[in-house]
Amino acid sequence: MTEPSTPRPAASPYDLVGIGIGPFNLALAALAEPVDGLRSLFLEARPCFSWHPGLLMEGTTLQVPFLADLVTMVDPTSRWSFLNYLRVHGRMFPFFFAERFHVPRREYDHYCRWVAESLPSCRFGARVTGLGWDDAAQAFTVEYADAATGARQRVLARNVVLGVGTEPVVPEPLAGLVGEHVFHSAAYLDRRASLAGARDVTVVGFGQSGAEVFLDLLRAQEAEGWRLRWLARTPAFAPMEYSKLGLEHFTPDYIRYFRGLPEDVRERLIPRQWQLYKGISEQTIADIYDLLYERSVGGARPDVTLMPNVAVTGARRAGDRYELDCRHVEQGRDFTVVTDRVVLATGYAPRRPAFLEPLAPLVDWDAKGRYRVDGQYRVALDPRVTGGLYVQNAEMHTHGVGAPDLTLGAWRAATILNAIAGREIQPVPSAVAFTTFGVPEAAPAPEKTAAAEPIPAAPR
């Protein structure tokens, strides 16, 4: 076996190198593509674009309208819009007749793959192994390995945008049990076959993913014969906040307000806003309830348990089964669940990639080891670093609940693009909400005017 070659010398710096190609960096690549004189490169370790493949169940849809595609919210004339995707693929008439505002997840994944495969700046099978800063070149150094050949390359970049996504969160009590029969919902479709033969299946965790997994298991219950259980820490199986004014939390106005709050206030606020980003679509809730209702005809009781307000505090193997120590949060009572399989719909969290370690000493981390991010999504670095390091979907603690939401993806990408270019490539609105989120600036007192002469009384 030959050793990988040493990195080849870098040519002139790219203006922009994006690391990771998910929807957010793909939006940036699409908006950057027509900009004259801007050299960009986007690197992704995976062999092709793939968006949450473990959750692309038939019948699942995006929780945002199709207008929240990669580009439309800032540039509806872009050739990378979802509507142009439909035109190119001969689907405009079927889409029109379907009258769907929320498109299937499978179609969104296919749309993004079409864009990624069409953009010459996107390079797949390129695993980034190191990110550093070169004082002499006044540029970032990005080293990556080709998945097919193992050859290593090194490029320079004036700006780097991290779009490495998030990673599945496994609660500490269950971390030691993850394996064939205990797994995260991110791998649900790949691991679903391992549920065969189970007498009892438990879903732990809330949100849209938990609801979709539970619904899929519920639909298969009569054929598989398993008992189903759904445990969630949230106080209710509640819908996502989707009122028209509620959605204004996903606007530049709210981001500006949130950024102005003291850090301790932001830390307390985000968990209280769980329905803005962890709620379930009303349609999924309705599908679950309607199926339970139909199965209860004639007085039968579906063999399911749905329990909110439950925290899993411990877990262990018990022969070929699993024992979960649970606590009802509101009642303060403990109980034990015995089950055969556990699907963890316990969410995702930003990750600090290993390739960042060479640059880590130059990052101004906050007290919790997170990025400090400014209004243009630029990470605070040592003053000697003249280049820009930007992040996408790693800034909920500084920018609020809109960080992981696709609605703001194009807007954030355009904001970053304008910052990198040093000029307005794409106009981005800063005030779009009807809601005033904070105390308005004091309005000047009206000027005094001369008293108006009284209107003479009408003659009698």
Q: Look at residue 1 and tell me whether its pLDDT is greater than 90.
A: no
Percent of the chain with pLDDT over 90: 91
Q: Which of 408, 391, 374 is nearest to 253 (CA)?
A: 408
Query: Which pLDDT value is given to residue 440?
Result: 86
Q: Which helix (H) or strand (E) holds 202?
A: strand 200-204
Do 259 and 338 contact (CB within 8 A), yes or no?
no
Count the helices and strands in the chain (H runs, E runs).
13, 18
Question: For residues 123 and 8, which has the higher predicted lDDT (pLDDT)?
Answer: 123
Model confidence at 449, pLDDT cuts 50, 70, 90, reads: very low
Query: Which pLDDT value is given to residue 444?
Result: 55
Model confidence at 441, pLDDT cuts 50, 70, 90, reads: confident
Say what angle helices 282-295 and 207-219 make with each other, to 10 degrees. Answer: 30
Q: Look at residue 51 and tell me whether its pLDDT is greater than 80.
A: yes
Query: Which pLDDT value is given to residue 34?
Result: 97
C-beta neighbour count of 393 within 10 angstroms: 25
Reported as half-sphere exposure (CB side, CA atoms, 13 A), residue 11 has a value of: 4
Q: Look at residue 114 and tell me whether its pLDDT is greater than 60.
A: yes
Q: How far, in Å, CA of 138 to CA of 156, rounded?
A: 9
Query: Which pLDDT value is given to residue 92?
Result: 97
Q: What is the mean pLDDT of the chain?
A: 93
**Locate tokens 């189970």: which residue?**
198
Query: Which pLDDT value is given to residue 445?
Result: 54
Strands (E), 384-428: 388-391
Exposed/middle/buried for residue 140 (C-beta within 10 Å: 0-12, 13-18, 19+)? buried
Poorest-pLDDT segment among 64-68, 135-139, 158-162, 296-300? 296-300
Model confidence at 457, pLDDT cuts 50, 70, 90, reads: very low
Model confidence at 430, pLDDT cuts 50, 70, 90, reads: confident
Do 409 and 27 contact (CB within 8 A), yes or no?
yes
Do 305 and 228 contact (CB within 8 A), yes or no?
yes
Question: In this predicted model, what pLDDT tens digit does every residue of 254-269 receive, in sequence order?
Answer: 999 999 999 999 999 9
At residue 414, the 3 state secondary structure works out as helix
Q: Which residues pair with 18 in a beta bridge?
A: 42, 161
Q: Which helix (H) or strand (E) holds 112?
A: helix 105-118
Which distant-in-sequence residues (6+ apart) come within 8 Å of 297 by Cβ?
A: none
Q: How far, in Å, CA of 324 to CA of 313, rounded?
A: 8
Query: Which pLDDT value is given to residue 94?
Result: 97
Give just the sign of the alpha carbon dihedral 195, 198, 204, 205: positive
Domains and CATH numbers, the chain: 14-167+349-421 (3.50.50.60), 170-240+278-346 (3.50.50.60)
Question: In this predicted model, what pLDDT tens digit does every residue of 13-48 receive, in sequence order?
Answer: 999 999 999 999 999 999 999 999 999 999 999 999
Query: Which pLDDT value is given to residue 447?
Result: 55
Q: How far, in Å, CA of 145 to CA of 135, rounded?
A: 23
Q: How far apart are the first and last CA of the chain?
A: 113
Query: Residue 408: phi, psi to the nearest 5?
Result: -95, 5
Q: How far, in Å, CA of 345 to CA of 207, rounded?
A: 8
Q: Look at residue 451 and tell me whether its pLDDT is greater than 90.
A: no
Reported as half-sphere exposure (CB side, CA atoms, 13 A), residue 257 has a value of: 20
